[in-house]
């Protein structure tokens, strides 16, 4: 069997990790081909097995038509038995492509445009999405809550929607977490709060920095942020303006974030929205207690309704400055951080429950779920 996976890009994003894990771990009788429009430099790619192809899509007014055309060309060339796509435009192109392959589409991130129906444009979008997704062989989503919402909103039978979470290679992560955290910032007995994620609006790190400012006034601690993105200058200025320059470390993108995660006292996850939240599972895998926004989708399900970590309300997403008062949600985040840092009993209970919970996301279990779908179709 030949599986082709088509994505906007391939590098080191969250969705790219799923593609990497699938290519490396699917049964040996499944040949994999990865096709992407944007491919990072070789040293910034997750490892993969199989063929990696560049998929050209010219930036014209007829971009979607070109996308379908290019996908048809690569499908005709590779002759896959199944095509798995990862974003809505590519999902549509997959469904509309020619050939005898099975069409498997997936939604790996929450975007409220899926559920936006205001005006004629919204109603047309809903009709097109419902019409096309019902003509796929399978629709893969990451959480049960997303399955329910997608099924109800787009009138898609629940038997067509498969819930397959993102995989987590727990043993590999634990092995990597034992490497030395070679940074003086971590040579301290004071609590360290850590966050891992792209520095973009979706991840909401400025809310965490503002909440951390309140925490820092109540107890000695520090904050480390791993990732890069377009909001980095704003986030660094905010930390400086809050007089936190010496207390907040921006580590940039790291090939091995787990060596820092394992030495942190708490993992904070302030995302405004998610498709899943894999970094929560990774933090749990190395024994780092977590606090997360209760955003759509993923954190509540991963944390078993708060049994494996603390859930706090989602912040409003406004880009505040240092002089703006904390919002209600930021205050609640700060209070939850203080509670989790000070209450050893609560921390240990969360760690113990999380250690059991992560078995549900072990890479072998998730890969088998994908393989079952591929063999069935």
Q: Look up the CATH superfamily of 2-167+362-376.
A: Glycogen Phosphorylase B; (3.40.50.2000)
Nearest to 138 by CA among 157, 153, 152, 155: 157
What is the domain partition of the chain in residue ranges?
Answer: 2-167+362-376, 170-361
Cα–Cα distance between 348 and 88 in angstroms, integer?
41
For residue range 330-358, what is the model confidence (pLDDT) as tens digits? Answer: 999 999 999 999 999 999 999 999 999 99
Please give the pLDDT value at position 183.
93
Please give the pLDDT value at position 89.
86
For residue range 81-120, what is the model confidence (pLDDT) as tens digits? Answer: 999 998 888 999 999 999 899 999 999 887 666 677 678 8
**Sequence-ordered alpha helix ranges (H) in 157-204:** 170-176
For residue range 215-242, what is the model confidence (pLDDT) as tens digits? Answer: 999 999 999 999 999 999 999 999 999 9
Please give the pLDDT value at position 317.
95
CATH architecture of 170-361: 3-Layer(aba) Sandwich (3.40)
Structure tokens at 24: 């490396």
Cα–Cα distance between 209 and 195 in angstroms, integer?
10
2-167+362-376 and 170-361 in the same fold: yes
Q: Rounded to the nearest 5 degrees, what angle is found at the Cα of 201, between the Cα atoms of 196 and 206?
A: 65
Stretches in the chain below the pLDDT threshold 70: 58-61, 111-114, 117, 377
Q: Which residues contact 52 (CB under 8 A, 6 or more apart)?
A: 10, 34, 35, 36, 39, 45
Cα–Cα distance between 254 and 247 in angstroms, integer?
19
């Amino acid at each position: 069997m030949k599986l082709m996976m088509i994505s906007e890009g391939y590098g080191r994003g969250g969705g790219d990790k799923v593609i990497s894990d699938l290519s490396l771990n699917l049964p040996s009788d499944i040949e994999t081909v990865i096709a992407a429009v944007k491919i990072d430099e070789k040293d910034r790619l997750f490892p993969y097995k199989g063929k990696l192809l560049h998929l050209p899509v010219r930036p014209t007014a007829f971009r979607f038509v070109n996308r379908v055309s290019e996908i048809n060309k690569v499908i005709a060339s590779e002759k896959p038995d199944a095509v798995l796509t990862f974003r809505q435009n590519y999902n549509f192109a997959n469904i509309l492509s020619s050939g005898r392959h099975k069409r498997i589409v997936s939604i790996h991130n929450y975007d409220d445009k899926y559920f936006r129906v205001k005006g004629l444009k919204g109603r047309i979008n809903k009709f097109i999405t419902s019409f096309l997704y019902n003509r796929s062989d399978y629709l893969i989503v990451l959480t049960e809550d997303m399955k329910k919402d997608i099924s109800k909103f787009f009138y898609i039978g629940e038997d067509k929607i498969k819930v397959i979470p993102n995989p987590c290679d727990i043993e590999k992560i634990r092995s990597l977490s034992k490497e030395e955290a070679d940074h003086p910032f971590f040579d301290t007995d004071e609590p360290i709060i850590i966050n891992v994620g792209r520095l973009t609006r979706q991840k909401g790190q400025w809310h965490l920095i503002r909440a951390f400012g309140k925490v820092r006034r109540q107890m000695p601690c520090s904050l480390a942020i791993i990732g890069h993105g377009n909001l980095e200058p704003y986030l660094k200025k905010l930390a400086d303006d809050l007089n936190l320059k010496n207390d907040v470390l921006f580590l940039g993108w790291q090939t091995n974030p787990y060596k820092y995660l394992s030495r942190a006292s708490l993992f904070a996850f302030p995302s405004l929205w998610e498709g899943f939240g894999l970094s929560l599972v990774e933090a749990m895998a190395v024994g780092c207690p977590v606090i997360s926004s209760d955003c759509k989708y993923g954190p509540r399900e991963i944390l078993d309704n708060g049994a494996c970590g603390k859930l706090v309300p989602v912040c409003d997403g406004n880009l505040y400055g240092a002089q703006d008062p904390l919002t209600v949600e930021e205050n609640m985040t700060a209070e939850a951080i203080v509670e989790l840092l000070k209450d050893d009993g609560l921390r240990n209970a969360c760690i113990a429950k999380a250690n059991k919970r992560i078995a549900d996301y072990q890479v072998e279990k998730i890969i088998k779920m994908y393989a079952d779908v591929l063999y069935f179709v």
